[in-house]
Amino acid sequence: PEYDLAIRGGTVVTATDTIRADIGVRDGRIAAVADRLADAARTIDASGLLVLPGGIDSHVHIAQPSGPGIVMADDFASATRAAAAGGNTCVMPFALQPRGQSLRETALAYRALAEGQCHIDVAIHLIVSDPTPAVLGQELPAMIGAGFTSFKVFMTYDDLVLNDRQILDVFDVARREGARVMVHAEGYDAIRYMTERMERSGQTGPYGHALSRPQTVEREAAHRAISHAELVDLPIVIVHVSGGEAMEQIAWAQERGMKIHAETCPQYLTLTAEDMKGLGQDDPLAGSKYVCSPPVRDTASQEQIWSGIQRGVFDVVSSDHCPFRYDETGKRNPKGRTSFRWIPNGIPGIETRLPILFSEGVSKGRISLNRFVALSATNHAKLYGLYPRKGSIGPGFDADLTLWDPNRREVIRQEILHHGADYTPWEGFAVTGWPVMTIAGGSVIVEDGRILEEPGRGRVLDREIDRTKLSPRL
């Protein structure tokens, strides 16, 4: 037969087109997209289904060191298993540089952790926490050249925060070397001040987390990051934007022609700070299941973020999957009972990102199918150096595909998920639209929630710098 696999009769959706077509796969790549195809060794009937580029989640945390006594709930096997079940074929986690440790050592050790353990391909970002002269002068340029072409910097957290001069210095390296920088924009000193104020006033429960990090601290940091990016002349991505205030700063910069990209996440479209009050629950730490940073806001913020998605302020919707269990090693840890400041920040969402975005976005008529594909796959590939290998459907692309039933109704429940966390913040959340098959590199790896393979197929991808693509048209 001419093809290893043919997917027939589906509606093929890319960021720009929606067509009825068959897809022929050979040697793990898409060989043809056509009206009618020659013979294939295996045929999948996709009639009634959408055929989408596999989801790419460019912001996930896997097996990341998270502080004494706190264990991240997913390793590479479980995170990529859950991602695949949720319709994804590529995820991008972070190799976090502990202060005092070489960036090279960090990156290589993290890659070794991933090798052989993944169900789907991964590409690794760095987190730069210690921009010493050696890191700025040699290590960071070397690692960028070695395929770690993107990294994140933090404007808060004791162990990660960079000061303004350090941010300018790493931006400068990124500009010279052609790397993509993601910025966690929340102001460190303002958060510390507010945290102490909340603790003094007795607001120590999970909801205090929201009060300690109001939109003001995010808006200020976003503006500061934008200003630094303007000075250095570096396009940046401001990640996990939670509400209208930071978004307005980004829109303002974009209107002035600055290349500021923005990411948001399903939690900012569907959850609110009220969830952190744990109303009606016996356990005073129940609200900790929703603690993430920036915090989730309110329904007005959700609408603002939707309007930003519709206006094109946002390029990508990622999960910011950052899974901690609700047991004693996670959210409900003993120190967390004394103050919210000890509750680990982050929620699991790698498996539910696509269904929530599809249901709230496409099924509810807020965004088109094509925009869904752009926000969930194509733009991730373009921003982070995986395009035109991944992120769309056409000859030459990896055969990473998700068959999607746009009409299937599901209720999100922990018991149907595949992640390592012991809860989902979306327990009981009803969606319309669900992934029914995930195909990675031309192989069916998930069918109807069943994982068909042991981990090991997924590769760790090196990326190359293409300076002409640093500011892709999205």
Build a one-symbol-per-residue string for 187-206: x at contacts with ligand DUC by CB under 6 A, - elsewhere. --------------------
Among 81, 104, 180, 184, binds ligand DUC (CB under 6 A): 184
Q: Of 364, 472, 460, nearest to 116 (Cα)?
A: 460
Q: Name which of 184 and 463 has its Cβ closer to ligand DUC.
A: 184
CB-nearer residue toward ligand DUC: 320 or 400: 320
Q: Rule CB under 5 A: is residue 57 a binding residue for Zn ion?
A: no
Select from ligand DUC, Zn ion, none the partner in contact with residue 345, using the beta carbon and a kind-dependent cut-off of 5 to 8 Å: ligand DUC
- For ligand DUC (CB under 6 A), the number of binding residues is 9
Determine if 218 is a binding residue for Zn ion (CB under 5 A). no
Distance, first Cα to last Cα, the chain: 37
Residues between 147 and 176 with contacts to ligand DUC, criterion CB under 6 A:
none
320 binds Zn ion (CB under 5 A): yes
**CB 344, min distance to ligand DUC, A:** 8
In contact, 32 and 395? CB cutoff 8 Å: yes
User: Closest approach of Cβ 117 to Zn ion, in Å?
Assistant: 20
Please tell me whether residue 198 adopts helix, strand or coil conformation: helix
320 is a site residue for ligand DUC (CB under 6 A)? yes
Residues 212 and 214: their CA atoms lie apart, in Å, by 6
* 322 sits near ligand DUC (criterion: CB under 6 A): yes
- Asked if 346 touches ligand DUC (CB under 6 A), the answer is yes
Single out the residue of 243, 261, 222 nearest to residue 300, CA to CA. 243
Cβ proximity to Zn ion, 221 vs 440, nearer residue: 221
Sign of CA dihedral 14, 16, 19, 25: negative
Beta strand residue intervals within 265-356, DSSP E: 316-317
Taking the least distance from each CB to ligand DUC, the nearer of 347 and 403 is 347
Q: By Cβ distance, which residue is nearest to Zn ion? A: 184
- Residue 446: burial class (beta carbons within 10 Å; 0-12, 13-18, 19+): buried
Stated length of the chain: 474
C-beta of 222: minimal distance to ligand DUC in Å?
14
241 binds, among Zn ion, ligand DUC, none (CB under 5 to 8 A by kind): none
Among 26, 125, 240, 353, binds ligand DUC (CB under 6 A): 240
* Comparison of 184 and 390: residue with beta carbon closer to Zn ion: 184
Stretch that binds Zn ion, among 50-58, 121-129, 280-288, 312-320 (CB under 5 A): 312-320
Told to check if 355 binds ligand DUC by CB under 6 A, we report no
Contact 59, 25 (CB under 8 A): no
Q: How far is the CB of 240 from ligand DUC (least distance, A)?
A: 6
Pick what 210 binds: ligand DUC, Zn ion, none; C-beta below 5 to 8 Å, kind-dependent.
none
CA-to-CA separations, 31 to 196, 413, 453, in angstroms, rounded: 59, 38, 24
Q: Is 208 in the site for ligand DUC (CB under 6 A)?
A: no
Residues near 138 by beta carbon (within 8 Å), at least 6 away in sequence: none
Give the x-and-dash track for 184-213 against Zn ion (CB under 5 A).
x-----------------------------
Site mask for ligand DUC (CB under 6 A), range 34-63, x = bound: ---------------------------x--
CA of 371: how far to CAs of 13, 73, 207, 270, 449, in Å? 10, 31, 34, 19, 25
The separation between CA 291 and the C-alpha centre of its own chain, rounded to angstroms, equals 17
Peptide bond preceding 294 in cis form (omega within 30 of 0): yes
Q: What are the C-alpha distances in Å from 41 to residues 7, 26, 44, 50, 185?
A: 11, 10, 10, 22, 50
Tokens of residue 383, six digits: 């921003």
Stretch that binds Zn ion, among 19-27, 317-325, 386-394, 463-471 (CB under 5 A): 317-325
Q: How far apart are CA 290 and CA 301, in angstroms?
A: 16
Q: Shortest CA distance to 15 belongs to which of 439, 443, 355, 472?
A: 472
Q: Which residues contact 423 (CB under 8 A, 6 or more apart)?
A: 289, 325, 326, 348, 414
Name the minimum Å distance from CB 211 to Zn ion: 19
Residue 315: name its binding partner from Zn ion, ligand DUC, none (Cβ under 5 to 8 Å by kind).
Zn ion
Does 218 bind ligand DUC (CB under 6 A)? Our answer is no
Q: Return the residues of window 77-136 that contact Zn ion according to CB under 5 A.
A: none
Give yes or no for residue 74 binding Zn ion (CB under 5 A).
Answer: no
Q: Does 261 bind Zn ion (CB under 5 A)?
A: yes
Residues 159-196 as b or e (16 or more Cβ within 10 Å = b): ebbbeeebbbbbbbbbbebbbbbbbbbbbbebbeebbe
Question: Is 293 among the residues that bind ligand DUC (CB under 6 A)?
Answer: yes
Give CA separation, 200 vs 196, 210, 211, 215, in Å.
Answer: 6, 15, 13, 21
Per CB under 6 A, residues contacting ligand DUC are 61, 184, 240, 292-293, 320, 322, 345-346
Per CB under 5 A, residues contacting Zn ion are 184, 261, 315, 320, 474
